[in-house]
Structure 1
């Protein structure tokens, strides 16, 4: 029996491990097939709703760490800000950092960035993570993120590129991973709500 969208989301959100900064394989291959088979778009789907639904599938695949499948979806909506944001994260996860920042620029001041900035700043303010980190580039970058007014996706790209060099501590890597997790969750929450608004008459 095919899983419904709700069950797929539940499985992705309840996984015990956060998405890797640089995934080497799909998290759940069977789930990826279920995502691909979701009948989100049909002949009767309003044309205006299609970009939001494609973005939803791009997000689901990326939460499952299926970079190629997510890329295939986001490439279909390169004029859509949400599609551009997912596109950028996909390239960042594959280690193509300059291309990631190109797509983040195309996404512009995405609506999900406001809630994301608030969430990340609150976490940095109220957790002990900054005090636990050794002095250095990652700690300094997180301090900047805590104080900034608007989320800057390239700042996270720079931190991930730095951790790829293998010169940062395990604590710093864990902090970056959690910030990425918050970014993925906030963008997906926005994407899901946007898809539901776009086709309010459907059962998504």
Structure 2
């Protein structure tokens, strides 16, 4: 089991492209099948790991089916919220972020995202407007605000702003997925042995 899971994680982590803000299909259909074949488990940490693996592979429906199994688990709720954001159901995403509460992965995410905004040239490359202001707010805030980020993604997907901002938002989403996956993987480490 450990070998299969490690190979899946390595494949996802070696992607050369970032996950789309609103993906249309699974990134790697074969990989999606391999994730589905991982042994079943009733432990929330294991189910959350499957939800996360599917979401990293941009397989929204499969991720959703697993996160729905653990709606009383903060990690499952966080994956659930991201999945709804990625499908464009922004109010439902915010509901699940609220249920997830102040998730432990959020502090590392906030630190990494703020550091990236402060120390990269990204703000110089993003046109003036709400997305630039939102990215600047990430650098100033002390706690990660998934609903504020969802608002930025919603604005991007509305088509009312420049496509130049998309890559910045995709990178912040990448940081979010990376931190939540790291947390989830650590919580499910017994399943990986």
Does 2:108 correspond to 1:115?
A: yes
Runs of 4+ in 1 over 4 A off after TM superposition: none
CA distance in structure 1 between the aligned counterparts of 2:126 and 2:61, rounded to whole angstroms: 34
Does 2:109 correspond to 1:99?
A: no
- State the TM-score, normalizing by the size of structure 2: 0.96
- Equivalent position of 1:26 in the other structure: 26
CA distance in structure 2 between the aligned counterparts of 1:28 and 1:80, rounded to whole angstroms: 27
Equivalent pairs, count: 192
CA distance in structure 1 between the aligned counterparts of 2:135 and 2:192, rounded to whole angstroms: 40
CA distances 1:8-37 after superposition (whole Å, capped 9, x unpaired): 000001011110000101111111010000
The Cα shift of 1:203 comes to: 4.1
CA distance in structure 2 between the aligned counterparts of 1:187 and 1:137, rounded to whole angstroms: 26
Asked if the contact 2:156–2:163 (Cα under 8 Å) also holds between the matched residues in 1, the reply is no
> Which is higher, the Rg of structure 1 or of structure 2?
1
Q: What is the CA RMSD across the aligned residues, in angstroms?
A: 1.4
Match of 2:136 among 143, 152, 155: 143
CA distance in structure 2 between the aligned counterparts of 1:54 and 1:111, rounded to whole angstroms: 18
CA distance in structure 1 between the aligned counterparts of 2:136 and 2:69, rounded to whole angstroms: 36
CA distances 1:153-172 after superposition (whole Å, capped 9, x unpaired): 01110011001121222321
Does 2:54 correspond to 1:61?
A: yes
CA distance in structure 1 between the aligned counterparts of 2:162 and 2:134, rounded to whole angstroms: 15
Question: What are the ranges of 5 or more consecutive residues in structure 1 without an aligned counterpart?
Answer: 42-46
The Cα shift of 1:131 comes to: 1.6
| SS of residue matched to 2:188 | helix
- Equivalent position of 2:77 in the other structure: 84
Map 1:110-189 to 2 at 5 A.
110-189=103-182
CA distance in structure 2 between the aligned counterparts of 1:192 and 1:134, rounded to whole angstroms: 36
| SS of residue matched to 1:4 | helix
